[in-house]
Structure 1
Amino acid sequence: MDSPMCLIDNVDGVLRPVPDAIDHLMRIRQRVVVVSVVGLYRTGKSYLMNKLAGRKDGFALGSTIQSKTKGIWMWCVPHPKQADHTLVLLDTEGLGDVEKGDSKNDAWIFSLAVLLSSTLVYNSRGTIDNQAVENLQYVTELTERIKVKSSSNASSDEEEGVDAQFVQFFPNFVWAVRDFTLQLRIDNRDVTADQYLEHSLELKKGTDRKVMNYNLPRACIRNYFPTRKCFVFQTPTSPENMVRLESMDDRELCQGFRETTDAFCHYVFQMSRVKTVKGGQGVTGRMLGHLVKMYVETIARGEVPCLENVVLAMAQIENQAAVEEGLKLYQSCMEPLKIRFPVDMDQMSDQHQRADQQATQEFMNRSFKDKNGEFLTRLANGIAKTYAELLIRNDDASEKKCQDLLRELSAPVSQKIQDGFFAKPGGYELYCDLHDKLVAQYRSTPNKGIRAEEVLERFLKEKSVESNSILQADQKLTDSEKQIHEEKKRVAVLQQEKAAEEEKRIELERTMEDDRKSQEEKTKKMEERMKEEIKQQQEEFEKALKVKLQEQEDLLKKGHKEKADLMEQEIQELKKSNKPEKSGGFWENVMPVVDTLLKVGEIFSQYKLMKGLRRK
């Protein structure tokens, strides 16, 4: 994208996805790293986004007290550090805009930034004091605006422990403090920006309302976000020059500001991970487009977005698209073979196996959470039906070519029969000589396809009446000689019948072998996918558990034993939430897929039936 575009429009407090922006995301097949910036209006959020994009201009900065950004704007650029990844920058409408005066609308924008991003940048000015933390009031409302599980699927224990699971799905948190003029010192010792942030987020002891109100936003930040980072920025230039910040050369900005900005960009590029959804699935631009639509449409209906429902709905869309793409790839891979029909069974089978493998891999690249193999089975069925149709077309092409060839080769013989050429003593011998040459020429003609022997068998049977009449009319031959010739002809026909049956047997065995290999390949791919998804879920869980255990340890060090005990409950709830994913066993998930894939083999039986009906 050359410049940003509005992703989510905000008109009179109503949020709507912008179709052109969604279409742009849908065309991005790469995985995305999504960085959102939130904060009070007129705090310089857009400047940071432009720096991440590597541009001076782009997101509107503005130089007045009015907020420039409305809704959520998006800028997609190539990731500067990760090849084949897209960096998606989301600049959000300023929170607390006095002209808007709608805190509920602000809360939804904040929630969307959390839901869509892999790194969330909170931008503020001055210092991280109590007021700055309280301005992050929206973080305390996240449990009211985001659900992990649908109500129908969540037990009462899971609903109570939902806070513990947020850390699995929430983005990294970066606090950018702008126009910082103080020294980074606490208790007369120098500290880092990160230590400054953690000090500002420390909880107070006590249970009275004032202490609880003080602790609530801090506890939410500590509990929900897996990693926290802080950058403190000096004022970039003199107050009178701030109005032209967008046009100023970097060399005109103060060195400390430039150094912090470079460190901020480096951190975001290096540490921001690919956006994932529940279950650890990496998100592509196309999937991000689905997420935006689903989340915003859910909010517009007055409902609370549910991570589980959205992921399942998105999986349905993506998996069906994966089926269609896989089948389309299979068909395109088989297309070059169609123009060469008829081909022999080896060529047909080899091309089918290559196309089937490529189509299956294409499906696997896009699909996810196809636990019962429903969509993989759809692909297998589609491929099997397409292959069966191609086999029939190849059959028909082979039969036509063989019939045309025999008609052409036998035309001179037929003409001689009409001319009475063989109606003389020794005529049968002449006929047999021409007939044998015809058959030999037919056999030596290449690329007849898989019906060569069957068509020849029918031809020989059809010509047996013609042959017998010439034999019986040949006065040169004795009765015993005629009987010998009749027996030789009968043996030749029987041998041809066997050749035709052998041709059919080889074809059937090869189609069955194709089916077996296809089933094995798909089962193997599904096993690999399920193992990968289980591994992703386990890594997601372990990362969240590590964060919780570290938080519990910090609370104990600070003397917050009661809060540490509450954290223990969260840890236990988090462990419980991991059990359903691991229960049931790997093979209990894989075997239903194997069973459904085995049924695909019935299609080849149907193919044989269809071909038999066509023959009749």
Structure 2
Amino acid sequence: MASETHMPVPVCLIENTPARGLVVRPEALQVLSKITQPVVVVAITGLYRTGKSYLMNRLAGQRRGFSLGSTVQSHTKGIWMWCVPHPCRPGHTLVLLDTEGLGDVEKGDTRNDTWIFVLTILLSSTLIYNSRGTIDQLAMDQLHYVVKLTDHVKLKAAPKESEDELDDSEKFVLFFPTFIWAVRDFTLQLEVDGKEISEDEYLEEALKLKAGSSRETQCYNQTRECIRQFFPDRKCFVFDQPACKKDLVRLEDLRDDEINPEFRQQVEKFCSHVWEKSPPKTVPGGHIITGNLLGKLATTYVETIRSGVVPCLESAVLALAEIANAAAVKEAVTLYQDLMAQRAKLPTESVQELLELHSQCEQEALELFMAQAFKDGICHFQADLISQVEKVKAKFCKDNEQASHDKCKAALRDLSQDMEKRISDGVYNVSGGYQLFKGDQQALVEKYWELPGKGVKADAVLQEFLQSRKTLAESILNTDCSLTEKDRELKSEQEQHERAEQERAVQRQKEAGERQKLQDQLRSWEEHALQLRKKLENCCEKQLEEHQEMIRHKSKEEAVLLKDGFCDKAIHLRMVTSRLEQEYGSTRSRLTTWINIMVSVLLGLVFVIFRFRTPRFF
């Protein structure tokens, strides 16, 4: 179980070395592959030696774990990961990512700093930026990596189709995490113009833009504009110094009573917020990421970066969808197979009984598939699910018939033992023997029908049994001295008529079973089409909600800009918002058509699969 994932210490998720560059570590992927729960991914970034690891250890509920170090050297290299049970969300795993300190002067080559920052953003659902002192221009300059995001991430693989199309950066918010600025060793009073302000208000004050068009003003505004644009959901926490300077080198060993009480309270408040408010990691459309998928996502991004290509967000989601949908098919088929094996008591009394059981198990398997599947490429995978489930169902039907056949054969073998002895003793080779034989055989048939649990082949096996005695019956009929030639002819005709009627009854039963199977298949397809429609409608609603949220963020930012007197920037944002609103309207109508097309595609794929497998049904 994912909840039993035990990591006593963190492991390196993405290694960063001068010789190999960025590499995903297989031992970390192995840990993530076992986590099938949704993950809440909290990552921290910032300059090296600013105490990032201490906060992450506290979020893990531990004093030790991520390396703190005690010198001016950077300890954390690459991105390190610690997976722990989520303290506030049952059924979720908290994944903590501690990143290599930015701006380490010992590295010499700092090209990977930006990629570490980009990966931290793309993998997390909450991003913590850790800095010291105050949020001043120096702190903003140290966060210059955010300005480079537009050069290192793209939304779509295809270039813009027209000049009116929005820049990729306008929609980065769909993929980006919530943002927390943690200010360490904060010594100022939280007030503006003599009025006390909150930590969040302090951050917003620091993010205010300067008026003017000079190069200096543009540099001042650039990082602030990026933060406001990319991270509309943001929060701030300030922390006093945790202890006196001489004790900082052994911070993780200090008892609670040796740590600054104010700092302890601030850390508790910070941890409570992160635990309670940090959302699960998702990708656009509301698809929740599990630990296994997080590992796949990290691998996709790192391999893209290593190949020299800028990571494409939509391509990464498509690659993830391929993996998730294939896994969803496999799990759903396994669930169906397990449920049928647990619940099916073979042989069943009728085909209908087995089909009803199949319907229940298929429904549960379909629900599992829909819960895990991404809408991207879902039709082909759902068609594959239908095909695989149908194969398993066909095997259960075959096994059901075989179980019934074997049980009925065994029953007739036991019931006919007395008659077999009479035949071998010549009891029926006398005058009146045919009538005696027919009476004994009728009594055997009546006992046979009284036996319970014979299953779907009861008629067919009995017909085989009676057919196997055809020659014997004719021989006894011919040797019965008490019958005239005319009697023999009448008995023979009656015998043939009975056998023909029995054969017709068996054929009618077989055809009825085939009709039931066809009706069940059609029912199954209708249910699959209905569930696909519900899934796509749900995904589209989430997509539209995300779009509306993006519009609300833009409108809110526009109002702030107008209030602060930045009319030109507000007008530009109004144009962006208008295009988003137009896009929202066209998207809503387009999605309805798209859903109908996807349902038709599914039914078309299924028809092709079964047209060649069972042509007599069509």
- Alignment map for 1:395-406 (pairs within 5 Å): 395-406=401-412
Find out whether 1:243 has 2:249 as its counterpart: yes
Give the counterpart letter for 1:547 in structure 2. Answer: H
The secondary structure found in structure 2 opposite 1:2 is: coil
Superposed displacement of residue 573, structure 1: 4.1
Indicate which of 300, 303, 310 corresponds to 2:306: 300
Change (3 A) 1:599 1:450: farther
Once the two structures are overlaid, the 10-residue window that deviates more, 502-511 or 196-205, is 502-511
Give the counterpart letter for 1:362 in structure 2. Answer: L
The secondary structure found in structure 2 opposite 1:54 is: coil
- Alignment map for 1:322-401 (pairs within 5 Å): 322-336=328-342, 340-341=346-347, 344-371=350-377, 373-401=379-407
Superposed displacement of residue 416, structure 1: 3.6
1:250-273, Cα deviation, whole Å (9 max, x unpaired):
222222212221221122122211
1:82-122, Cα deviation, whole Å (9 max, x unpaired):
11111111110000001013332111111111111111111
CA contact (8 A) 2:166 2:576 kept: no
CA contact (8 A) 2:379 2:601 kept: no
Change (3 A) 1:143 1:159: farther
Partner of 2:26: 19
Find out whether 1:5 has 2:4 as its counterpart: no
Find out whether 1:517 has 2:528 as its counterpart: no
Partner of 1:285: 291
Indicate which of 424, 429, 451 corresponds to 2:430: 424
Give the counterpart letter for 1:227 in structure 2. Answer: D
- Provide the C-alpha distance between the structure 1 equivalents of 2:418 and 2:221, rounded to a whole number of angstroms: 103
Change (3 A) 1:137 1:595: closer
Once the two structures are overlaid, the 10-residue window that deviates more, 594-603 or 68-77, is 594-603
- Provide the C-alpha distance between the structure 2 equivalents of 1:512 and 1:197, rounded to a whole number of angstroms: 65
CA contact (8 A) 2:322 2:377 kept: no
The secondary structure found in structure 2 opposite 1:76 is: strand
Partner of 1:253: 259
- Provide the C-alpha distance between the structure 2 equivalents of 1:40 and 1:435, rounded to a whole number of angstroms: 94
Partner of 1:93: 100
- Provide the C-alpha distance between the structure 2 equivalents of 1:365 and 1:603, rounded to a whole number of angstroms: 24
CA contact (8 A) 2:22 2:302 kept: yes
1:12-41, Cα deviation, whole Å (9 max, x unpaired):
171111111111111111111111111100
Once the two structures are overlaid, the 10-residue window that deviates more, 340-349 or 310-319, is 340-349
> TM-score, length-normalised on structure 1?
0.93
The secondary structure found in structure 2 opposite 1:38 is: strand
Once the two structures are overlaid, the 10-residue window that deviates more, 357-366 or 529-538, is 357-366
CA contact (8 A) 1:450 1:503 kept: no
The secondary structure found in structure 1 opposite 2:469 is: helix
Change (3 A) 1:168 1:577: farther
Partner of 1:67: 74
Change (3 A) 1:19 1:402: same
CA contact (8 A) 2:57 2:66 kept: yes
1:303-358, Cα deviation, whole Å (9 max, x unpaired):
11111000001100111111111111222222246784476424422331222122
Change (3 A) 1:49 1:56: same
The secondary structure found in structure 1 opposite 2:49 is: coil
Once the two structures are overlaid, the 10-residue window that deviates more, 437-446 or 65-74, is 437-446
Partner of 2:454: 448
Partner of 2:3: none
- Provide the C-alpha distance between the structure 1 equivalents of 2:574 and 2:458, rounded to a whole number of angstroms: 76
Once the two structures are overlaid, the 10-residue window that deviates more, 590-599 or 487-496, is 590-599
The secondary structure found in structure 2 opposite 1:454 is: helix
Indicate which of 110, 125, 130 corresponds to 2:132: 125
Partner of 1:145: 152
Indicate which of 183, 187, 209 corresponds to 1:203: 209
- Provide the C-alpha distance between the structure 1 equivalents of 2:180 and 2:54, rounded to a whole number of angstroms: 15
- Provide the C-alpha distance between the structure 2 equivalents of 1:607 and 1:215, rounded to a whole number of angstroms: 65
The secondary structure found in structure 2 opposite 1:99 is: helix
Give the counterpart letter for 2:130 in structure 1. Answer: N
Change (3 A) 1:370 1:351: farther
The higher-RCO structure (CA 8 Å, 6+ apart) is 1
Change (3 A) 1:140 1:601: closer
Give the counterpart letter for 1:283 in structure 2. Answer: I
Superposed displacement of residue 413, structure 1: 3.3
Find out whether 1:110 has 2:117 as its counterpart: yes
CA contact (8 A) 1:30 1:285 kept: yes
CA contact (8 A) 1:511 1:604 kept: no
Q: Percent identity?
A: 43
CA contact (8 A) 1:158 1:577 kept: no
Partner of 1:614: none
Once the two structures are overlaid, the 10-residue window that deviates more, 433-442 or 587-596, is 587-596
Superposed displacement of residue 141, structure 1: 0.3
Once the two structures are overlaid, the 10-residue window that deviates more, 95-104 or 464-473, is 464-473
Give the counterpart letter for 2:550 in structure 1. Answer: A
- Provide the C-alpha distance between the structure 1 equivalents of 2:292 and 2:185, rounded to a whole number of angstroms: 38
Superposed displacement of residue 58, structure 1: 0.9
Q: Root-mean-square deviation (CA), in Å?
A: 2.4
Once the two structures are overlaid, the 10-residue window that deviates more, 521-530 or 299-308, is 521-530
Find out whether 1:84 has 2:52 as its counterpart: no
- Provide the C-alpha distance between the structure 2 equivalents of 1:576 and 1:20, rounded to a whole number of angstroms: 47
- Provide the C-alpha distance between the structure 2 equivalents of 1:75 and 1:581, rounded to a whole number of angstroms: 40
Once the two structures are overlaid, the 10-residue window that deviates more, 71-80 or 365-374, is 365-374
> TM-score, length-normalised on structure 2?
0.93
Once the two structures are overlaid, the 10-residue window that deviates more, 255-264 or 288-297, is 255-264
1:65-87, Cα deviation, whole Å (9 max, x unpaired):
01111100111111111111111
CA contact (8 A) 1:150 1:308 kept: yes
CA contact (8 A) 1:69 1:93 kept: yes
The secondary structure found in structure 2 opposite 1:177 is: strand
- Provide the C-alpha distance between the structure 1 equivalents of 2:513 and 2:594, rounded to a whole number of angstroms: 35
The secondary structure found in structure 1 opposite 2:390 is: helix
Aligned length: 610
The secondary structure found in structure 1 opposite 2:116 is: helix
Find out whether 1:560 has 2:566 as its counterpart: yes
Change (3 A) 1:205 1:608: closer
The secondary structure found in structure 2 opposite 1:8 is: strand
Indicate which of 320, 323, 341 corresponds to 2:326: 320
Superposed displacement of residue 581, structure 1: 4.6
Superposed displacement of residue 184, structure 1: 1.6
Change (3 A) 1:271 1:353: same
Find out whether 1:485 has 2:516 as its counterpart: no
- Alignment map for 1:406-555 (pairs within 5 Å): 406-555=412-561
Find out whether 1:192 has 2:193 as its counterpart: no
Once the two structures are overlaid, the 10-residue window that deviates more, 460-469 or 33-42, is 460-469
Once the two structures are overlaid, the 10-residue window that deviates more, 52-61 or 180-189, is 180-189
Superposed displacement of residue 230, structure 1: 1.1
- Provide the C-alpha distance between the structure 1 equivalents of 2:608 and 2:168, rounded to a whole number of angstroms: 46
1:432-465, Cα deviation, whole Å (9 max, x unpaired):
1111122222222332221221222233334333
Change (3 A) 1:604 1:193: closer
Indicate which of 223, 228, 239 corresponds to 1:217: 223
- Provide the C-alpha distance between the structure 2 equivalents of 1:336 and 1:556, rounded to a whole number of angstroms: 66
CA contact (8 A) 2:42 2:96 kept: yes
Change (3 A) 1:606 1:422: farther
Partner of 1:613: none
Give the counterpart letter for 1:206 in structure 2. Answer: G
Structure 2 stretches of 5 or more lacking a match? 1-6
1:157-178, Cα deviation, whole Å (9 max, x unpaired):
4775212111222111111111
1:276-327, Cα deviation, whole Å (9 max, x unpaired):
1133311111111111111111111111111100000110011111111111
Change (3 A) 1:421 1:606: farther
Once the two structures are overlaid, the 10-residue window that deviates more, 88-97 or 5-14, is 5-14
- Provide the C-alpha distance between the structure 2 equivalents of 1:76 and 1:453, rounded to a whole number of angstroms: 60
Superposed displacement of residue 479, structure 1: 3.6
Partner of 1:584: 590
